[in-house]
Amino acid sequence: MKGRNILIVDDNKLTRKILKDILENAGYGVLEAKDGEEALQIYKNKLPDMVILDIVMPGMTGFDLLRILRKEEENLMLPIILLTSQDNFEEKIKGLELGADDYLVKPFNDKELLFKVNNLFQRIEHNRMANPLTGLRGNIDIKEEIKRRIKENKPYAILYIDLDNFKSYNDYYGFLRGDNVIKLTAKILSDAVNLIGNERDFFGTHRWR
């Protein structure tokens, strides 16, 4: 996760410095913007991997910037953390409805900040690589796991499971029921692996398209 760039958007210079010091010490690259307009310009030019933005800023608020960023389809997976000076329930709900991934209440400590940043990066990465239907690890992870096993040069086995004549099932019952069959099959197999398998077992879902 380290080596990624995080854009900090806050009109308070001291807050930006505190955030920057914590994140850089943890190995992240940091970009700074003092307001929403500057943040948009930096975002277009630098394409950061995460945005941490304050809600209350002069001119364009954090909510305004969040709304603009989420309008673009390519930004839907962009991790965004909102900064707030008070633990306000209505404010949190509004931010989450607009597409924020998490909140950080001022004053914050470095452990809380890094936990949320690291956790969010891990979650986004999992969502990108996981099969969207089953939630299980997908093609990228499967390829990496096979490469890792080959490098280990130890005996291993691959079990490939397919649903015969599944197209006919989809044609007759519809794709919604077909998706439910795939999810149920994945759950049964996953439960079996967890029940009788061991820590070296790997279970993923391959997509042909």
Q: Answer whether the bond into residue 132 is a cis peptide, omega within 30°.
A: no
- Would you state the pLDDT for residue 1? 56
- Would you state the pLDDT for residue 128? 66
d(CA 56, CA 65): 11
pLDDT in tens, 10-31: 999 999 999 999 999 999 999 9
- Would you state the pLDDT for residue 198? 80
Residues 52, 36 contacting (CB under 8 angstroms):
no
Residues 62, 45 contacting (CB under 8 angstroms):
no
Neighbour-count burial of 30, counting CB atoms closer than 10 A to its CB (0-12 exposed, 13-18 middle, 19+ buried): middle
In this structure, the chain runs to a length of 209
CB-based contacts of 39: which residues, under 8 Å, 6+ apart? 7, 9, 33, 51, 53, 65
- Of 139, 102, 144, 95, the residue nearest 119 (C-alpha): 102
d(CA 11, CA 34): 4
**Domain residue spans of the chain:** 5-129, 139-196
Please identify which residue in the block is written with the tokens 């953390």: 81
- Would you state the pLDDT for residue 2? 62
- Would you state the pLDDT for residue 209? 41
The topology under which CATH files domain 5-129 is: Rossmann fold (3.40.50)
DSSP letters, 117-163, are: HHHHHHHHHHHHHB-TTT-SB-HHHHHHHHHHHHHHT----------
Weakly modelled stretches of the chain, pLDDT under 50? 209
How many Cα atoms sit within 13 Å of 2 on the Cβ side? 6
CB-based contacts of 2: which residues, under 8 Å, 6+ apart? 26, 27, 28
